[in-house]
Amino acid sequence: MRHAHNPILSPEDIRPSQETMRIECLLNPGVFRFDGKIWLLLRVAERPEQTDGEISFPLLDDANRVTVMRVPSSSPELDLSDPRVINYKGEDFLTTMSHLRLVSSTDGVRFSEEPAYPPLFGSDCYEAYGIEDCRVAQIGEDYFLTYTAVSANGVAVRMRSTSDWRHFTDYGLVLPPHNKDCALFEQKIGNLYYMLHRPSSPEIGGNYIWIAQSPDLYHWGNHKCVARTRKGMWDSARIGAGCSPIPTDEGWLMIYHGADAANRYCLGAMLLDAGDPSKVIARSEEPLMEPSEPYELEGFFGNVVFTNGHVVDGDRIQMYYGASDKVICRADFSVSAILETLR
Ligand code: MAN
């Protein structure tokens, strides 16, 4: 059920990272509990104020400083048909650069910034176009952040860990391009760690959900394809895992996003085998949630509901999601009710 106060966060609720920047979108937060509160790790997408006659967009230079690229808007070599992407002279850039911002709440609805906890920015040449869509998994006392690192080298998965949200350990790129939507399991299965991930194989294959295992969280192998897109259905073009699968008596419950050829993003569920999560026991025929509210139909990139974070309390899933790549919303689900739809 959608929260009555949706959207719970909009770009104007957050301060830009610097004066010259404007927050264009808030997207797809990671979610976790820490210090007795609920926290969102927001994806904040910024771009410089636009001026007449040119298109400008930020990226990191070789010394890791934010620089602004400027392109004449009349250029015949400019393609702006996708609001997320600037194609100039055949090369793709992003219209906005994303960083990750921490906000916290005691009621799960009213979130505010925590100045004591610094934002996370791109840190090197693999993150020069920004960092996005961070999943947060708690394993023991530590939090593991798996996010999309974007640069001219491609779109890859990077991992950092922390126990206090002030100091971070960098695991580097755990998956090379093209890959995103990486969600760690919060418990070992047997003696191994597991992650879901989403490589893209454009010529043969597609945008499917895969699984990998690791003895130490650094080395990942034994990759297997878990689920593919389904022709003619709501998840026909792209699918990707939400966040850490939820352990239930019937197996691992995973919420995922699926997009069709028209780039309409919906949410569904999969039930994965408890002992071998590469096996899908059941999968939503119909979406659990589809864009229907005004803030889900129109925004920066309309017709999108996308999640990569929730907290679970008994039977209740408190899910946070990005609507139309613009605002942050909340919706609650019941674990048993979702399992019922999968029978
Ligand atoms: C897609 C969209 C964008 C994102 C890029 C890079 O174009 O999901 O929001 O910035 O991929 O990950």
- Mean pLDDT of all residues belonging to the chain: 97
Residue 283 and residue 266 in contact, taking contact as beta carbons nearer than 8 Å: no
Cβ burial of 139 (10 Å; 0-12, 13-18, 19+) is middle
Residue 18, Cα to own-chain centre: how many angstroms?
Answer: 23
Q: How far is the CA of 199 from the centre of ligand 1 (A)?
A: 14
pLDDT higher than threshold 90 for residue 66: yes
- Structure-block tokens of residue 333: 């689900």
Residue linked to tokens 């015949």: 76
For the ranges 113-117, 196-200, 300-304, the lowest mean pLDDT is seen at 113-117
Annotate 71-112 with DSSP letters as a single string.
EETT-TTEE-SSTTEEEETTEEEESSEEEEEEEEESSSS--E
Pairing label, strands 154-162, 78-79: unpaired
Instruction: Identify any residues that bridge with 322 across adjacent strands, giving them in sequence order.
Output: 306, 328
- Residues 267-300 as b or e (16 or more Cβ within 10 Å = b): bbbbbbeeeebbeeebbbeebbbbbeeebbeebb
pLDDT band for position 36 (cuts 50, 70, 90): very high
Please report, for residues 40, 58, 102, 137, 242, the alpha-carbon distance to residue 34 in angstroms, rounded to integers and kept in the order given.
10, 32, 11, 12, 20
Q: Is the dihedral of CA 247, 332, 131, 230 positive or negative?
A: positive
CATH architecture of 11-342: 5 Propeller (2.115)
Ligand 1 lined by 97 (C-beta under 6 Å): no
Q: How far is the CA of 84 from the centre of ligand 1 (A)?
A: 7
Cβ burial of 5 (10 Å; 0-12, 13-18, 19+) is exposed
User: Using one digit for the tens of pLDDT, what is the confidence trace for 219-237?
Assistant: 999 999 999 999 999 999 9
Which residue's C-alpha comes closest to atom 11 of ligand 1? 84
pLDDT band for position 114 (cuts 50, 70, 90): confident
Per-residue pLDDT at 32: 98
